[in-house]
Amino acid sequence: MNGWNKVQAEFGLVPHHQPANTVGKNASDIALVIDAMDLMHSGRFDAFVLVSSDSDFTRLASRIREQGLEVFGIGAQKTPDAFRKACKRFIFLENLEGADDNGKPANKAEVVVPANDPKEARDLILKAMDSIDQEDEWYALGPLGQFITAANPDFDARSYGKKKLSDLVADLKIFETKRGPGNQMLVRRID
C-alpha cells in the first residue's frame, strides 16, 4: 500500500481498506459491490467506472446498466469478454499512455505492437456500413464509430496500432476517405 500513498495525495483519493475475515475470500470485492449499489441507489450518478480485469464484476456492470446508468470499464487485455461486453465502453490498460504494467512511467521510446490484426477492424467497419441504412455510398465516420463501439465495447483503434479510427480507416486499403460538410470525415468502400 505504500506505493499508493503518493498517488492518493496527488489525486485527492480517500483510501478504503477492507481486511479479509478469512484467507482466500474476496472481502474487498464484496465491499466494492456494496458501495457501488449504495451509490447507484442514491440517484446522484449517471455513470460508473469499473477498473478491473476480474469477471466477478460482470454482474455488477450488468445490474448498473439495468438501472439505466452507463458503465465504463478499464482493464487488461486478459479481461474476460463477458465483463467487457457488460460495459458501454471498455478501455484496455495497454492502450493507455503514461504507465507500464507495473504502474511505472512508460519509456516514450518504446514501440507498441498492435495486439489485433487490422483485418478484424476492417470486418467491423464493413459490418457497421451494412447495418447503417442509407442510400449514399459515403458514410460519416462518427456514426460508424458509434455503431462499432455499441456492438463491441472494447473496440479501440489503439488496439490496432493507430491513435484514431480515422487513421485506422485511412490505413485499410479497401476504404477511401474525404472531408465532408463541417469538415467531418467520410468513408466509403472502394473494392
152: number of CA atoms within 13 Å, CB side?
16
Q: How many Cβ atoms from other residues are within 10 Å of residue 165's Cβ? A: 22
Summarised one tens digit per residue, pLDDT across range 13-57 is: 888 777 777 776 688 888 899 999 999 999 999 999 999 999 999
109-131: string of b/e by CB count within 10 Å (b at 16+)? eeeeeeeeebeebbebbeebbee
Give the span between the Cα atoms of 50 and 39, in whole angstroms.
Answer: 13
Amino acid (one-letter) located at 27: A
Phi-psi region of 171 (alpha: psi -120 to 50; beta: other; left: phi over 0): alpha
| Whether the Cβ atoms of residue 156 and residue 167 lie closer than 8 Å to each other | no
pLDDT of residue 50: 95
Summarised one tens digit per residue, pLDDT across range 80-122 is: 999 999 999 999 999 887 655 554 545 544 545 456 888 889 9
List, in order of start, the domains of the chain with CATH numbers. 2-95 (3.40.50.1010), 118-189 (3.30.420.610)
pLDDT of residue 109: 46
pTM above 0.85, yes or no: no
Give the span between the Cα atoms of 29 and 1, in whole angstroms.
Answer: 17
pLDDT higher for 125 or 14?
Answer: 125
